[in-house]
Amino acid sequence: MEYVTLGRTGLSASVAGLGCGGFSRLGLGTGKSEAEAVALVRQTLDLGVNLLDTASVYGTEAVVGQAIKTVPRDNVVIATKAWIPRREGRSAAERAVASLENSLKQLGTDYVDIFQLHGVSPGAYDQASDVIAPALLREREKGKLRFLGVTEAGSSDPEHAMVERAVEDGVWDVVMIAFHMMHQNARAKVFPRTIANRVGTLLMFAVRNIFSRPERLAAALRELTASGQLPRSLADASDPLGFLVHEGGAATITEAAYRFVRHEPGADVVLFGTGNPDHLETNIAALLAPPLPLADRQILTKLFGHLAGVGLDPPYSMPGLNSA
C-alpha cells in the first residue's frame, strides 16, 4: 500500500480508501450478510488500507466497528458523516451532535478521525458553516472528533459550488469530491484550491454505475450524443471505451477508471466501494498501478473534459441527499 498525508490534517492515509456506502454498502446492499461485510473490511485492512469511509445513513457503521475491534484504534482512519436536512434551522446543530454520538456508539469508539457533513448542497452551506460547524468544533475540544469534513451533493451540484466555498473557509480540513473519467471539472475548479489551502481530498464516484455497468454507459452516451455534447460515433460504437484496454494500458474499464482518478494532481485518497472480495483485490491493485498511458489520458480529456454531472446517480433516494 502507498500512503499520503491528508492535507493539513497530517493524517497518514492509504491512497485507496474503502467506501462503505454507494450501491454496495460492503455487500449489505447486494444481499451479503453482516459477517461477510465484516470479513470484507478485515480483508481490506489486511491489504494495508487504513481509511474507511462510512456514514450514519449507510447502515454500515456497526460493521466497521466490529471489523476494527481486532486492530489498534490509531492504525485506522475512520471517517463518518451526519446527514442534516437543510430545513432544520437552529436545531441542526443539536441534530449533528446527536448524530456524532450515535456514530461513536455504532462504531464502538471514543472518537472519529474525520467527521463530515453529508451531501451538503450549496443552499445548505450557510447552515453547515454558521450553525453546525461551531457546535461540532466544541465536540472536537472534548476529543470526540479530530477533523471536520464536508461532502458534496453530487448530482445536484455538478459544478462543485458548495466545495468551492468550503475550501476557502478554513473550517473543513477534508472535502469529498466527485471526479471520474467523464466528470473531470474538479481539475480546474477544486484541486488548485485544495492544494493551495492544504485541504485533504477524498475522491468519490471513480466507477459508480457508469463504468461498472455497460448498459449505464451506453445510456449516458446516447443522452450525451442526442444533446450534442459528444460525437454521434461514440453512441454507435460497440465498445466505446475499449481504446483504454490494451497491452501496456488497463486490463478492464474499471481498472482504467481507478487509475485515471488516482494519479490526478490533488487526489489524496480514492474511495472504492464494493461488496465483492475479488473486486476488492483488483481495485487495490488498480489504485497501486502506474498512471494510464499518456495517450489514453489525452484522449479521455479531449473526449470528455468538457462534461459535467455525468454518471453521478444516487443509489437510493432521500429527500435532499443526492448522492450518498
Q: Which residues bind ligand NAP (CB under 6 A)?
A: 19-24, 30, 53, 81, 118-119, 151, 154, 176, 204-208, 212, 254, 271-276, 279, 282-283, 323-324
Per the CB < 8 A criterion, the answer to whether 67 and 42 are in contact is: yes
- Cβ proximity to ligand NAP, 13 vs 324, nearer residue: 324
- Cβ proximity to ligand NAP, 225 vs 313, nearer residue: 313
Shortest Cβ distance from residue 241 to ligand NAP (Å)?
Answer: 14
Shortest Cβ distance from residue 16 to ligand NAP (Å)?
Answer: 10
- Cβ proximity to ligand NAP, 235 vs 285, nearer residue: 285
Shortest Cβ distance from residue 273 to ligand NAP (Å)?
Answer: 2
- Expressed in angstroms, the distance from the first to the final Cα of the chain is 27
Provide the 8-state DSSP code for 271.
Answer: E
Residues, the chain? 324
Per the CB < 8 A criterion, the answer to whether 209 and 311 are in contact is: yes
Shortest Cβ distance from residue 5 to ligand NAP (Å)?
Answer: 21
Per the CB < 8 A criterion, the answer to whether 114 and 149 are in contact is: yes
With b for 16 or more beta-carbon neighbours within 10 A and e for fewer, the 215-226 pattern comes to: eebbebbeebbe
Cβ burial, residue 87 (10 Å; 0-12/13-18/19+): exposed
What is the C-alpha to C-alpha distance for residues 241 and 226, in angstroms, rounded to an integer? 18
- Cβ proximity to ligand NAP, 207 vs 250, nearer residue: 207
- Cβ proximity to ligand NAP, 191 vs 205, nearer residue: 205
Shortest Cβ distance from residue 84 to ligand NAP (Å)?
Answer: 13
Q: Which three cell numbers stand for residue 123?
A: 443552499
Shortest Cβ distance from residue 3 to ligand NAP (Å)?
Answer: 19
Per the CB < 8 A criterion, the answer to whether 191 and 264 are in contact is: yes
Shortest Cβ distance from residue 232 to ligand NAP (Å)?
Answer: 28
What is the C-alpha to C-alpha distance for residues 70 and 42, in angstroms, rounded to an integer? 9
For the CA atoms of 122, 123, 129, 130, the dihedral, rounded to the nearest 10 degrees, stands at: 160
Shortest Cβ distance from residue 178 to ligand NAP (Å)?
Answer: 7
What is the C-alpha to C-alpha distance for residues 114 and 295, in angstroms, rounded to an integer? 37
- Cβ proximity to ligand NAP, 131 vs 202, nearer residue: 202
- Cβ proximity to ligand NAP, 142 vs 165, nearer residue: 165
CA 211 to chain centre: 15
Please state, as a whole number, how many other Cβ atoms lie within 10 Å of the Cβ of residue 80.
30
- Cβ proximity to ligand NAP, 9 vs 121, nearer residue: 121
